Amino acid sequence: MTDANRLLHLTLALALLAATSCGNSIENDVDLLYEGGPKAQEARKHLSQVRPIDTRSLIEAFRDTRHPAYVRLDLGAALVLLFEREKNRRVLYTLIEAIADPEAEIRAAIAETLRSVDFDRRKAAAVLDIGLSTLYRKEKEYGLRQSPNAEGEA
């Protein structure tokens, strides 16, 4: 085996090792969130800096309703931070879908988060590749926006 072939094999092995460890990092963080305490705090810190390559694993973990609400809330916070950094359309779709989550805590937290970051509707519609009126309709459907009549009655 030539030196070039050895180097190629080593490079491929390292790439495979890195690829397989990426998906596990989210799972490890989820396990630490279950434990609570300082380990959960460390997991939150790691999740707040999650890399775009881990987006799929993070979304899957967030959507997994077998996780308790307190774990999914931390995962949702990580998704919000990831979206703010990367403007990833899949992350935004996931957050908007979460407005219809079966857990009331999740729905409320995501809705409040979108409100608190001054959810720019034009940019969100552009990222989602939908019209502004469609976004308004979805907001109303998911409870992010009240109908004009309801606002007047309140």
Enumerate the domain spans of the chain. Answer: 23-119
pTM for this predicted structure: 0.65
Q: Looking at 18-27, 28-37, 90-99, which range is the least confident one?
A: 18-27
Average pLDDT over residues 37-44: 92
Q: Per this entry, what is the length of the chain?
A: 154
**Least confident piece of the model among 47-51, 95-99, 130-134, 142-146:** 142-146
Asked if residues 74 and 35 have their Cβ atoms less than 8 Å apart, the reply is: no
- Cα–Cα dist 83/95, whole Å: 9
Model confidence pLDDT, tens digit, residues 15-30: 554 444 444 689 999 9
Q: Please give the Cα distance from 39 to 47 (Å, whole number).
A: 12
Q: What string of DSSP letters covers the chain?
A: --HHHHHHHHHHHHHHHHHHHHHHHHHHHHHHHHH-HHHHHHHHHHHHT--GGGHHHHHHHHH-TTS-HHHHHHHHHHHHHHHHHH--HHHHHHHHHGGG-SSHHHHHHHHHHHHHTT--HHHHHHHHT--HHHHHHHHHHTTSS--HHHHHH-
